[in-house]
C-alpha cells in the first residue's frame, strides 16, 4: 500500500449505540511488482459495547476492474 484516500464518507446513527459508516476509498498499491490503482466502496457497522466501539460487520465491493487497472 503506497497511499490511500477516503471519499464520500457518510455516517448514520440509527440508535445511540450503533453507527454505520459508508465510504469509497482510492488506493495506490503495488501488486505482483506493478503499480495499481484500486477503487472500492466500503461499509462498517459499529456497536458500542462495555469496552468501547466494536466493528461487528464490514463489507467491501471493488469498483475497479483489477485487470484493467
Mean pLDDT of 57-63: 97
Mean pLDDT of 33-38: 93
SS3 content of the chain, % helix, strand, coil (to 5): 0, 80, 20
For residues 63 and 34, give the distance between their C-alpha atoms in angstroms, rounded to a whole number. 19
Which pLDDT band, with edges at 50, 70 and 90, does 67 fall under? low
Residue 64, pLDDT above cutoff 90: no
**Whether the Cβ atoms of residue 64 and residue 39 lie closer than 8 Å to each other:** yes
Amino acid at each position: 500500500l503506497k497511499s490511500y484516500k477516503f471519499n464520500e464518507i457518510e455516517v448514520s446513527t440509527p440508535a445511540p449505540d450503533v453507527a454505520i459508516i459508508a465510504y469509497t476509498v482510492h488506493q495506490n498499491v503495488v501488486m505482483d511488482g506493478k503499480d495499481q490503482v484500486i477503487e472500492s466502496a466500503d461499509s462498517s457497522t459499529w456497536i458500542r459495547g462495555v469496552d468501547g466501539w466494536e466493528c461487528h460487520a464490514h463489507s467491501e465491493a471493488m469498483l475497479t476492474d483489477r485487470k484493467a487497472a
